Amino acid sequence: MARVRVELEPPDIEPYRAGNTGIDYVTSFDGSAPGPHVLLNALTHGNELCGAIALDRLFRDGIRPVRGRLTLCFANVEAYRAFDRDNPNGSRYLDEDFNRLWSDATLSGPRHSAELARARALRPIYESADLLLDIHSMQYATAPLMLIGTAPKTEAFARRVGLPALMVRDQGHAAGPRLRDFAAFADPAAPQTALLVECGQHWERRAAEVALAVSRRFLAASGILDAAAAARILAEAVPPQRLIAVTHVVTIQSDEFRFADDYRGLEVIARAGTVIGRDGGRAVHTPYDDCVLIMPSRRLGRGQTAVRLGRFVD
């Protein structure tokens, strides 16, 4: 396999270890007036550097809320410490995917792993948040995406943030719930709202730029910043947004899944019935014309999501 080019430099997050919340690598700032608790979350996966870079920049810029509370959280720090430029995929997690653990049954159950221990420690912080931005990156260099779940409240807030240009209405993964789908975040009747941004390819310079831009706009849209400063941020020109609705999630059923082509994501397959892969002896077809492939995976293991299938709806 060709050597992967890593354009980003992992920031030193050791200065943020102590924080002020009693939980390592979690820091909160309180405004002088009432308002929502807004949480920016980086390093759900240890090899996704862009979120750590964005939070480090916000710390160094002295970001502070004028109302409510702002929390900056570095999540899977132990996996991040294992990052190796010569094997950058190797530090996604230590024992299991931190972003498939977010059900009460799993968090309160008997299992143990490095990721579960950290998730249990962070759980009170996430449960106290009114607005959560979970910052991620992707395997392939495709356009940034905002994964908004299915509740109308998340689409409305994503449109207020205004970046990235592509939003994906999705149902999650069979392998386990994501943080953005945890508890009240997934309840359409609850006010708590979470968005998951995929900023671009894991180690491209642009991913860090997207992470910082989306973080700033998320804070501006949240109402915790100075009103004039927030207005300036939200007034910056952004491209029009488009929405893709995911209709099918291809979950791998065998140990021999293979794609039919070198798909990278956002390919539009013109004709229904086109074979896009084989899962053991079973062909995987597109269900309709102009089918969009969302984030095809290189991690092709039984029970994992191979790809999501969707269509543009606006």
Q: For residue range 74-123, list pLDDT tens digits in order.
A: 999 999 999 999 999 899 999 999 999 999 999 999 999 999 999 999 99
What gap in Å lies between CA 60 and CA 55, rounded to an integer? 9
What gap in Å lies between CA 139 and CA 201, rounded to an integer? 6
For the chain, give every domain's residue range: 14-240, 246-312
pLDDT on residue 36 = 98
Q: Distances in Å between the alpha carbon of 301 and those of 86, 100, 200, 294?
A: 23, 14, 23, 17
Q: For residue range 220-261, list pLDDT tens digits in order.
A: 999 999 999 999 999 999 999 999 999 999 999 999 999 999
Q: For residue range 159-197, list pLDDT tens digits in order.
A: 999 999 999 999 877 778 999 999 999 999 999 999 999
pLDDT on residue 174 = 74
Question: What architecture is the 246-312 domain classified under in CATH?
Answer: Beta Barrel (2.40)
314 pLDDT higher than 80: no
Task: Annotate 71-82 with DSSP letters as a single string.
Answer: EEEE--HHHHHT
Percent of the chain with pLDDT over 70: 99
Q: In this structure, what is the dihedral angle of CA atoms 265, 271, 276, 278, given to the nearest 10 degrees?
A: 160
Cα–Cα nearest to 67, from 31, 22, 13: 31
2 pLDDT higher than 60: no
196 beta partners: 134, 147
Cα–Cα nearest to 207, from 48, 92, 2: 48
Question: Strands, DSSP E only, in 121-280?
Answer: 131-138, 145-147, 166-169, 193-201, 242-251, 257-259, 268-269, 275-279
Helix and strand element counts for the chain (H, E): 7, 14
pLDDT on residue 185 = 97
Residue 3 pLDDT level (bands cut at 50, 70, 90): low
Q: Span 14-240: which CATH code?
A: 3.40.630.10
Token pair belonging to 191: 């006010």
1 pLDDT higher than 60: no
